[in-house]
Chain A
């Protein structure tokens, strides 16, 4: 476990050093993913669906704020809808306009959730997004989650029904619009999924804010279970087909995402938590203090193998004198050269711990 926290620390350090590169990289990947998914699913306008356009749009959006990606994705979807029919374009545009007027005008930062939701659906982990926002954000995000889900189901409907959407003149446009709206907004599966997301979001958010031990883990698991239960109940009661395998896999993946988020944003040591009680003139206070988890970095041991030796400077005159003395008194032993400066062991050898 310590290894993971050390790795987290290293990642944070790397991110701090290259945050601009990381942010732009993530923005580019998200833009590429979203444009690819749009073009792959509803790419009816061939010119706009080419890989070159996808790449070019992603690169352009990388150098602008994140909201630019949302605007470009909206424009791309509308271009493809125009290729299907005017009616589909009009209805999609009006739905986007309503979303903007009632929600995104007030909280523009939440617009990115609308991009994340269809992407999560494409990877079969739709609950990961509401769970992640329940853990790190506030219930305001629920509206954005709902809008993202609606956008996904709109694209799904157009993808399936585009070849059958025909009819000319005003009556044709009216019947297409009516059919499109009915199929999307009377889709029981969509409303069950939205209900499951909203209930699970509220449960996860409420548990996460409690002072119980391991609140984030409990919140993630409880949210995933509630989401699965509501989907299964909806499946049984309303006869909506739900793949239990993908539901289970998606829930497990969402819990994993939740655990990663806990590691990144809420690493605490519950074993060292303290419960305090005190009072002032007006209140009694029951405080639970949980220390943040911090792992000391392992210190590096540097062992210097070869130190710098100082050059010995010989005093040649004294050597000669000693030799002479040695020759005169052979019983005193051999010649001992005198060294000037430091000892012969040198100064450099040392161990650093």
Chain B
């Protein structure tokens, strides 16, 4: 005999496994600190590349003006702005990405916990049927 409640639960589990679950299982393989740390590090690399790109764009945009008024003091000042700006951007992005990926891990763990709970319920049903 088909048990309607069991079919509903199995559908719910299968739906989760085949959609959000795929990513959630990967995320929950890590501890939260490890997961967030890994992504903060990758953000650091990406932000460094992005910052270089923005600098290149800015230099290109002001290329003529820069060539006209080039001097040692101007170069030093620009270098300082570049370095300070870089550290500022890196810190801001580290904070943002740490928050985002911590939250992502937390949500994924909650969903996986709920999935495990449902799975246990299903197993209990099977055990009861065997008896």
Contact = CB atoms under 8 A, between A and B. Distances in A.
B61 A101 contact: no
B57 A91 contact: yes
Contact of B54 (A98, A105, A186): A98
Interface stretch (A175-183, A294-302, A319-327, A336-344): A175-183
Contacts of B53: 94, 97-98, 101
Contact of A105 (B46, B60, B61, B64): B46
Contacts of B47: 101-102
Interface in B24-48: 43, 46-47
Contact of B60 (A97, A101, A177): A177
Contacts of B57: 91, 94-95, 98, 181
Contacts of B63: 174, 178
A95 B46 CA distance: 14
Contact of A97 (B50, B61, B64): B50
Contacts of B100: 106
A174 B47 CA distance: 25
A185 interface: yes
Interface string A77-105: 00000000000000100110110011001
B61 A102 contact: no
Contacts of A98: 50, 53-54, 57
Contact of B46 (A101, A182, A186): A101
B14 interface: no
B7 interface: no
Contacts of A101: 46-47, 49-50, 53
B123 interface: no
Contacts of A94: 53, 56-57
A153 to B, nearest CB: 14
Contacts of B46: 101, 105
A185 B61 contact: yes
Contacts of B60: 91, 174, 177-178, 181
Interface in A88-129: 91, 94-95, 97-98, 101-102, 105-106
Contacts of A102: 47, 50, 93
Contact of A181 (B49, B50, B61): B61
A182 B57 CA distance: 10
B105 to A, nearest CB: 14
Interface in A8-52: none
A101 B97 CA distance: 12
B61 to A, nearest CB: 4
Nearest to B93: A102
B96 interface: yes
A186 B57 CA distance: 13
B47 to A, nearest CB: 7
Contact of A178 (B49, B50, B64): B64
A178 B54 contact: no
Given A94-B56, A106-B96, A182 B61 contact: yes
| Interchain residue pairs A-B with the least CB separation, the first 7 | A101-B50, A181-B61, A178-B63, A177-B60, A101-B46, A94-B53, A98-B53
21 contacts: A91-B57, A91-B60, A94-B57, A97-B50, A98-B53, A98-B54, A98-B57, A101-B49, A101-B50, A101-B53, A102-B50, A102-B93, A105-B43, A105-B46, A174-B60, A178-B60, A178-B63, A178-B64, A181-B60, A181-B61, A186-B61
Interface of A: 91, 94-95, 97-98, 101-102, 105-106, 174, 177-178, 181-182, 185-186
Given A97-B49, A174-B63, 4 more contacts: A94-B56, A97-B53, A178-B64, A181-B60
